[in-house]
C-alpha cells in the first residue's frame, strides 16, 4: 500500500517528513502522496526561494479546509493570494510595526511579576508562559477581560490540538468556536463605538483591525475581522511552545546565563538558535500554478508542494553541526531570508512570511532575560515529541 503523508503526519508527527525523505534517499526534493494525490516535499534554501515565488506557488486551497479553519480561521490572510493578500498583509505589517518593543516590555513585566507571585511553588513553564503571553498580548491589543490568563490558555488549546487526532483535536475545535464568538463580539463593540459618535482614529489594535477594509474599500466582514484579530492573539500565545524550549535550553547551558542576563545581542542569538533547532511548524503547503522542473522532479498545476520547515532549519549544507545547540553561530551572522524559516521565508511584505516574527523574537528574548536573572530549578522534564506541536513538559521550582 502506498503511504500517504497526511496519515503519517497524524500517526508519526515530526518524524513523517524526514522518514519520507529518507525512504527516497534523502534528496532535497522528493515525491510523496498527500491526501491521495501526487505532491512534492521540498527542503533547503534553494527550494524555499522557489516556494515563495508567487508566479510558481499559490496559497489558496493549499491547506486542507478542516485544518485551515481550525488553525487560521476561514477567510484568513494565510489562504489569500495576489492583491487581496498584499493588502491584508500590509494591514498586519503596519499594525505590528512596533509591537515587538511593546510586547517585549510587557512580557518582561508580567513574567517577572508571575515568578515573584509564585515564589517557592512548582509550576509548569508552558502553562506559565501561555498565561503570561496571553496577558501581554491582550494588554497590547487594548482588550480588557476578567481573566486574561484563562483566555491565553484557550487560545493555546487551538494550537495544541491542530496536529493530532483524538481528544486534543476536539478540545481545539471547542476553543476555536469559543474564540470566534468572543472575537466577533470585540469587533462589533469596536465598530459600534466608532459609529455612534465622532471619534479619533483607532488607537488600539482591536480598534484598528475593526477598521480594516478590503481592496474594494468595504469593511472586512465581522467574522473575517474577528479571525484576523485572533491571528494576532493566538500566535502570540503560541510562542509559549518556543519560550518553554528556551527555558529548557537555559537549564542545559547554565554557562550562558550571565552573558544572556547582560547582553541583548547574546539573547537575540540564543533566541534564533532556539527557533532554528526546536520544531514548531512541521511544514508549509502551497499549490503549483504551472508546470515546473523542481530539482529533477516535475510539478504540475494544482499539485501540492510541501516545504519541510525543520529540515530546512537543520540543513547540513547551511548549518554546521545542525543538531547541536550553538547560539554562537548567530553572533555577527547575517541570516539569509531563505535559510532560517521557522515562520516562513522571503520578504514578509511581498510573500507569506509571518509578519509577527519580530514580536516572536522579542517575546522569547524577554523570557530568556527574565529566566537568566531569576532563581529557579528544574524538578521535572519530558517531551511530547514527535507529536505536533511538540511541547516540553518542563516543571520548575521558583525561588
pLDDT in tens, 251-269: 999 999 999 999 999 999 9
What is the separation, in whole angstroms, between the first and last Cα of the chain?
55
- Identify the pLDDT of residue 162: 86
C-alpha distances (whole Å) from 323 to each of 22, 35, 281, 327 are 17, 31, 17, 12
- Identify the pLDDT of residue 307: 99
Domain boundaries, the chain: 5-398
The pLDDT confidence band at residue 274, using thresholds 50, 70 and 90, is very high
Nearest residue to 141 (alpha-carbon basis) of 231, 239, 71? 231
Half-sphere exposure of 314 (CA within 13 A, CB side): 13
Q: Tell me what percent of the residues of the chain surpass a pLDDT of 70.
A: 99
- Identify the pLDDT of residue 41: 98
The yes-or-no verdict on residue 166 having pLDDT over 90 is: no
Q: Give the fold, CATH level 3, of 5-398.
A: Cytochrome p450 (1.10.630)
Residues 133 and 363: beta-carbon distance below 8 Å: yes
- DSSP for residue 343: T
- DSSP for residue 304: E
Taking residues 292-311, report their average pLDDT: 97
Bridge-based pairing of strands 297-299 and 122-124 is unpaired
Taking residues 316-321, report their average pLDDT: 96
Average pLDDT, the chain: 96
pLDDT in tens, 125-137: 999 999 999 999 9
Higher pLDDT, 224 or 194: 224
pLDDT in tens, 323-362: 999 999 999 888 999 999 999 999 999 999 999 999 999 9
- Identify the pLDDT of residue 3: 93
- Identify the pLDDT of residue 198: 64
Q: Tell me what percent of the residues of the chain surpass a pLDDT of 90.
A: 93
What is the C-alpha separation between 260 and 332, in angstroms, rounded? 16
3-state SS of 81-142?
CHHHHHHHHHHHHHHCCCHHHHHHHHHHHHHHHHHHHCCCCEEEHHHHHHHHHHHHHHHHHC
Q: How many CB atoms lie within 10 A of CB 301?
A: 11
Taking residues 91-106, report their average pLDDT: 97
The yes-or-no verdict on residue 200 having pLDDT over 80 is: no
Higher pLDDT, 334 or 71: 71
The yes-or-no verdict on residue 291 having pLDDT over 80 is: yes
pLDDT in tens, 17-67: 999 999 999 999 999 999 999 999 999 999 999 999 999 999 999 999 989
The yes-or-no verdict on residue 202 having pLDDT over 90 is: no
- Identify the pLDDT of residue 197: 63
Q: Bin 73: left if φ > 0, else alpha if -120 < ψ < 50, else beta.
A: left
The yes-or-no verdict on residue 203 having pLDDT over 90 is: no
Has this prediction a pTM greater than 0.95? yes
Amino acid at each position: 500500500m502506498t503511504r500517504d503523508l497526511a496519515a503519517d503526519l497524524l500517526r508519526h508527527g515530526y518524524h513523517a517528513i524526514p522518514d519520507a525523505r529518507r525512504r527516497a534517499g534523502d534528496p532535497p526534493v522528493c515525491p510523496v502522496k498527500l491526501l491521495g494525490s501526487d505532491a512534492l516535499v521540498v527542503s533547503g534554501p534553494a527550494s524555499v526561494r522557489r516556494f515563495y515565488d508567487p508566479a510558481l506557488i499559490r496559497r489558496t486551497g493549499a491547506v486542507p479546509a478542516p485544518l485551515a479553519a481550525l488553525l487560521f480561521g476561514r477567510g484568513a490572510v494565510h489562504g489569500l493570494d495576489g492583491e487581496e493578500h498584499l493588502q491584508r498583509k500590509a494591514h498586519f505589517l503596519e499594525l505590528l510595526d512596533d509591537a515587538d518593543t511593546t510586547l517585549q516590555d510587557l512580557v518582561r513585566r508580567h513574567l517577572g511579576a508571575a515568578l515573584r507571585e509564585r515564589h517557592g511553588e512548582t509550576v509548569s513553564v508552558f502553562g506559565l508562559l501561555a498565561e503570561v503571553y496571553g496577558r501581554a498580548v491582550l494588554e497590547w491589543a487594548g482588550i480588557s477581560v476578567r481573566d486574561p490568563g484563562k483566555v491565553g490558555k484557550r487560545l493555546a488549546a487551538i494550537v495544541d490540538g491542530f496536529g493530532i487526532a483524538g481528544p486534543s483535536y476536539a478540545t481545539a475545535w471547542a476553543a476555536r468556536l469559543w474564540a470566534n464568538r468572543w472575537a466577533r463580539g470585540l469587533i462589533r463593540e469596536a465598530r459600534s463605538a466608532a459609529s455612534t459618535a465622532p471619534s479619533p482614529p483607532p488607537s488600539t489594535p482591536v480598534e484598528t483591525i475593526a477598521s480594516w477594509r478590503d481592496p474594494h474599500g468595504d469593511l472586512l466582514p465581522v467574522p473575517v475581522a474577528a479571525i484576523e484579530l485572533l491571528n494576532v492573539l493566538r500566535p502570540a500565545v503560541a510562542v509559549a511552545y518556543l519560550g518553554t524550549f528556551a527555558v529548557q535550553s537555559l537549564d542545559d547551558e547554565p554557562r550562558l546565563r550571565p552573558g544572556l542576563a547582560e547582553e541583548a545581542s547574546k539573547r537575540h542569538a540564543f533566541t534564533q538558535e532556539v527557533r532554528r533547532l526546536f520544531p514548531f511548524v512541521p511544514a508549509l503547503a502551497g499549490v503549483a500554478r504551472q508546470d515546473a522542473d523542481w530539482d529533477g522532479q516535475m510539478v504540475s498545476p494544482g499539485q501540492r508542494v510541501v516545504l519541510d520547515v525543520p529540515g530546512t532549519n537543520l540543513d547540513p549544507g547551511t548549518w554546521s553541526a545542525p543538531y547541536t545547540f550553538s547560539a554562537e553561530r548567530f553572533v555577527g551572522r547575517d541570516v539569509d531570508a531563505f535559510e532560517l524559516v521557522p515562520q516562513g521565508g522571503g520578504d514578509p511584505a511581498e510573500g507569506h512570511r509571518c509578519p509577527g516574527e519580530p514580536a516572536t523574537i522579542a517575546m522569547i528574548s524577554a523570557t530568556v532575560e527574565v529566566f537568566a536573572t531569576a532563581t529557579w530549578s528544574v524538578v521535572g522534564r519530558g517531551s511530547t515529541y514527535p507529536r505536533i506541536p511538540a511541547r516540553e513538559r518542563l516543571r520548575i521550582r521558583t525561588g
